[in-house]
Structure 1
Amino acid sequence: MASHRRPKPPNAAYTAALTASAAAAVAVSAQTASADPLPDPTKKGVQAQIDRLYEDATQATEKYNGAKEKADKLEKQVKDLQETAARKQGDLNDLRDRLGVIATAQYRSGGLDPSMQLLLSSDPDKYLDTASALDRLGDRQTTELKEFQSQQRDLAQQRKQAAEKLEDLGDTRTELGAKKQEIQSKLAKAQKLLNSLSAKEKAEIAKKEERADRSSERAKLGNEASATQRAASAFEAAKSRVGLPYVWGATGPGSFDCSGLTSWAFKQVDVSIPRTSQAQANIGTRINSLSALKPGDLIIMRTDLSHVGFYAGNGQILHAPKPGAKVRYESIARSGMPFMWGVRM
Structure 2
Amino acid sequence: MPVLELNVNRVRLVLASTLAIATVFGGAVVANADPDAVAQARKDLDRIHQESSAIDQDIIEAHDRAAQNEAKLKNLTSDVTSQVAKVEKLSSQLGHVGAVQMRGDSISLTAQLLTSTDADNFLSGLGAMQVEADRSTAGIQQLQVDQAKLTTLREDVDATQKQLDKDAAAKVELGKQYDAKEAEAQAVYDRLSEEERQRLAAIEAERVRREAAAQAEAEARAAQERASRDTATSPRVEAPASTSPSAPASSKAPKPETQEEPPAASGGSGRAQDVVDAALSKVGSRYVWGTSGPSTFDCSGLTSWAYRQVGINLTRSSRGQFSSAGYKVSKSDLRPGDLVFYYSPVSHVGLYIGNGKIVDAANPRSGVRVTSLNSMPFSGARRVIG
The TM tier, using the shorter chain, reads 0.5 to 0.7
Does the CA-based 8 Å contact 1:34-1:57 persist in structure 2?
no
Does the CA-based 8 Å contact 2:60-2:317 persist in structure 1?
yes
- The answer to whether the aligner puts 1:260 opposite 2:305 as a matched pair is no
- The answer to whether the aligner puts 1:339 opposite 2:312 as a matched pair is no
Structure with higher helix content: 2
CA distance in 1, matches of 2:333, 2:384: 11
Residue number in structure 2 paired with 1:142: 137
Structure 2 counterpart of 1:242, which letter? V
Does the CA-based 8 Å contact 1:209-1:325 persist in structure 2?
no
Residue number in structure 2 paired with 1:294: 335
CA displacement, residues 86-140 of structure 1 (integer Å, 9 cap, x when unaligned) = 101101111111112212222222559799xxxxxxxxxxxxxxxxxx9694333
CA displacement, residues 142-194 of structure 1 (integer Å, 9 cap, x when unaligned) = 33222222211111121122222222323222222221221122123334555
CA distance in 1, matches of 2:153, 2:365: 47
Unaligned runs of at least 5 residues, structure 1 = 1-27, 116-133
How many residues end up aligned between the 2 structures? Answer: 289
Residue number in structure 1 paired with 2:99: 104
| Structure showing greater Rg | 2
C-alpha root-mean-square deviation of aligned residues, in Å?
Answer: 4.2
CA gap 1:197/1:109 in 2 versus in 1, 3 angstroms: farther
Unaligned runs of at least 5 residues, structure 2 = 13-35, 111-128, 224-263
Residue number in structure 1 paired with 2:166: 171
CA gap 1:285/1:263 in 2 versus in 1, 3 angstroms: closer
CA distance in 2, matches of 1:108, 1:90: 27
Percent identity of equivalent pairs: 28
CA gap 1:144/1:229 in 2 versus in 1, 3 angstroms: farther
What SS does structure 2 have at the residue aligned with 1:188? Answer: helix
CA distance in 1, matches of 2:108, 2:277: 75
CA gap 1:201/1:227 in 2 versus in 1, 3 angstroms: farther
Q: Which residue of 269, 272, 278 corresponds with 1:237? A: 278
- The answer to whether the aligner puts 1:318 opposite 2:359 as a matched pair is yes
CA distance in 1, matches of 2:200, 2:292: 27
CA distance in 1, matches of 2:322, 2:158: 33
CA displacement, residues 213-257 of structure 1 (integer Å, 9 cap, x when unaligned) = xxx9xxx999x9983555333321110122445555554455543
CA distance in 1, matches of 2:268, 2:369: 22
Residue number in structure 2 paired with 1:65: 60
CA distance in 2, matches of 1:210, 1:143: 79
Structure 2 counterpart of 1:337, which letter? P
Normalised to the residue count of structure 1, the TM-score between the two structures is 0.68
Does the CA-based 8 Å contact 1:317-1:331 persist in structure 2?
yes
What SS does structure 2 have at the residue aligned with 1:303? Answer: coil
Query: Which stretch of structure 1 is more off in the superposition, 85-94 or 252-261?
Result: 252-261
Does the CA-based 8 Å contact 1:290-1:342 persist in structure 2?
no
CA distance in 2, matches of 1:161, 1:76: 13
What SS does structure 1 have at the residue aligned with 2:5? Answer: coil
Q: CA deviation at 1:336?
A: 4.3
What SS does structure 1 have at the residue aligned with 2:70? Answer: helix
Query: Which stretch of structure 1 is more off in the superposition, 174-183 or 264-273?
Result: 264-273
Structure 2 counterpart of 1:343, which letter? R
Normalised to the residue count of structure 2, the TM-score between the two structures is 0.61
